[in-house]
Chain A
Amino acid sequence: MGEHKYTGPIAGIFQKMADMIGKDVYYVNFLILMFFTLFEIAAVFFETIPGTDIEITRTAVWAILIIVGIIKGYGIAAFFMHLKGDPFIYTRTALFPVLFVALMIWGIGLSNPDGIDSLPSWCTPNYDYSYVTE
């Protein structure tokens, strides 16, 4: 707890930041989660980047929400849930439902007859939906 030194390309950065400020990785992770949550809300709250005329487009908001979600998800799972320090079997266990989640999102979530018209072709199931619209 706390004394464990994290290594690796991403966890190593967290560890270096923790060493720099003389705190543990949990504290650094907490600060990063707080910062990105603020960033996420600000991206939706402001129509332009404060102090500039640069518009925050919907694509940008989308990108921010997804990227920030991934960063926050990593921070919580890796450090707060200790996946980074625990045996790899726990990471494999945590990743196990990803296949099913992906299938649910792809097979159910993206199977809306209107949805497939408005989604990129690469995520359109190769299936004849004509029966739905008949």
Chain B
Amino acid sequence: MSGSLHDVKNSVWMKTVMISIGLLFAGITAYAVLAQGIGTVKHHEWEDAHHVLEDVEADWNSANESGETFDNDAFDAAWEKAHHDDVDAHLSYLTWSTAGKTIMVMFIVYAAFYGVAGFFNSIQPDGDDDEHHYGEDHEEHHGSASPILMAGGILLFMMGFPGFVVTCKSWLGLDYDPDMSGFMLSAIGMIITIMGVGNWWNEDLKGYPEQIATSAPFEGQDIRKAGMWIFLISETMVFASFFSSYLRMRTGWCTQWAVNDGKCDAVDTFTASDYLRPGGATGTGDFWTLLPGGINTFALIISSYTIVLALKVAKDVNWEPSKNAVMARLFPTRQKTVRNYLLITIALGSLFIVLKLIEWSHLIAEGFTIDSQAGSIFFVATGAHGLHVFIGLLVMLFMVFKADTVGYDEENGQGIEYFGLYWHFVDLAWVAIFPAFYLY
């Protein structure tokens, strides 16, 4: 992110506008194919399965009313099968529909960040005004106002967010009164946030000398690295509050685990793991319900490794392409290798979000909602984690752009390292969340 200075022509930023149009197109295509195409087919299958279930129930009702003798066991078996098929078809529909919608929303946000930031930067004067003379004094403060601009934007966005949500719901045809003032406040906040981010990206793309701490306890260390670690401390506290809340609630619930241990008599709470893990109390858990969480765990670990590889390649002055033909094609040059590892990391992070929301949609369909204590702590904790992943993906979008334009090398590669700390922390949080909420 720094270490060397670059002359970034504003025309370069127009590339982001083009990429954002591509992202928008990709998101809409994914929605059309997954949610509207396959999703519609799956919806028809679900309707058919539901009709079969209704027919079975109607047969039973009519037989009951007419006083006919019928085989109860056969009816039970038919109902079980019809109900099972109905649930399966519903969840299958939700899988495709949620995947399509999630990819579209994610790509719209990607496109907004890329497009607005790119456009904002491309209309600025050319970046040849080194008024801060960064190259002359390594102790000079970077002095960016961008974080303050971004924080102000987030403040406005959050102030108007309730109005934003109800307005969107009313536009979707739901029974809500639009709150346009809240919507506008939120929209203005979002634009200011993106401009703040865009300005920050602009400053970072040009580069500036790394500031070194001059006093204890971090004397001699990069200030940004120390700052990142202190930020991660605060993040640890955030997740610790989720865990202590969960622990407090969990010890008061009579779950299947507690009943089996003889600590209470009757189950009064189903946890997410009761729905997801095989042998869970609700009986809905099997290999397939645990699979998204399992894949997500592997996705985060692999993404942690790919970002380490991106850093390793960026810092490696002796890097050479692989002798393997396929690998050499995938990773032809040092600059493209860094970019491609970052792209793989984005793909894995995006997969995490899509699978997470598919899993949520299944849980909600099965009755595990945020209305319950168990649901609220599950959705808040895993949602906060998912938000961290998503924010990381937005930062990584810029890193891909930087890797593709000015490039990362041994001079400025520490930008990947500092972002990597955040990304590994997100992985580390999942190491605790996954067993606590999914397996236990």
Q: Which residues of A contact B (CB under 8 A)?
A: 1-2, 24, 26, 30, 33-34, 37, 40-41, 43-45, 47, 58, 61-62, 65, 68-69, 72-73, 76-77, 80-82, 87, 89-90, 92-94, 96-97, 100-101, 104-105, 107-116, 118-119
Contact = CB atoms under 8 A, between A and B. Distances in A.
B132 interface: no
A80 B243 contact: no
B257 A58 contact: yes
A105 B243 contact: yes
Given A30-B302, A77-B428, 18 more contacts: A2-B312, A2-B316, A34-B301, A37-B298, A40-B435, A40-B439, A41-B290, A41-B294, A41-B439, A65-B440, A73-B431, A76-B428, A80-B304, A82-B417, A93-B230, A104-B243, A108-B245, A109-B243
A45 B309 contact: no
B206 interface: no
Given A26-B309, A41-B439, A87-B221, A72 B420 contact: no
Interface in B276-296: 277-279, 287, 290, 294
B67 interface: no
B431 A30 contact: no
B376 interface: no
15 contacts: A37-B301, A41-B439, A65-B440, A73-B431, A80-B427, A81-B420, A89-B218, A93-B229, A96-B233, A101-B237, A104-B244, A109-B246, A110-B248, A114-B251, A118-B258
Interface of A is mostly: helix
Contacts of A118: 251, 258, 263
B439 A97 contact: no
B221 A44 contact: no
A65 B435 contact: yes
A15 to B, nearest CB: 16
Interface in B223-276: 225-226, 229-230, 232-233, 236-237, 240-241, 243-252, 257-258, 260-261, 263
Contact of A97 (B236, B263, B424): B236
A100 B240 contact: yes
A114 B251 CA distance: 7
A76 B298 CA distance: 13
B311 interface: yes
A115 B417 CA distance: 42
Q: Is the interface on chain B under 10, 10 to 19, 20 to 34, or 35 or more residues?
A: 35 or more
A97 B279 contact: no
A111 B417 contact: no
Interface of B is mostly: helix
Listed from nearest, the 8 A-B pairs whose CB atoms lie closest are: A115-B251, A109-B247, A109-B244, A104-B244, A101-B240, A108-B244, A65-B435, A30-B305
A71 B439 CA distance: 17
B290 to A, nearest CB: 7
A75 to B, nearest CB: 9
A26 B308 contact: yes
Given A26-B305, A65-B440, A109-B243, A80 B248 contact: no
Among A41, A73, A114, the most chain B Cβ lie within 10 Å of the Cβ of: A41
B297 interface: yes
Nearest to A96: B233
Contacts of B241: 104
Given A41-B290, A93-B230, A108-B248, A1 B312 contact: yes
A97 B233 contact: yes
B421 interface: yes
Contacts of A116: 251
A97 B241 CA distance: 12
B217 interface: yes
Contacts of A107: 244
B305 A58 contact: no
Among B217, B302, B304, the most chain A Cβ lie within 10 Å of the Cβ of: B304
B327 interface: no
A119 B230 contact: no
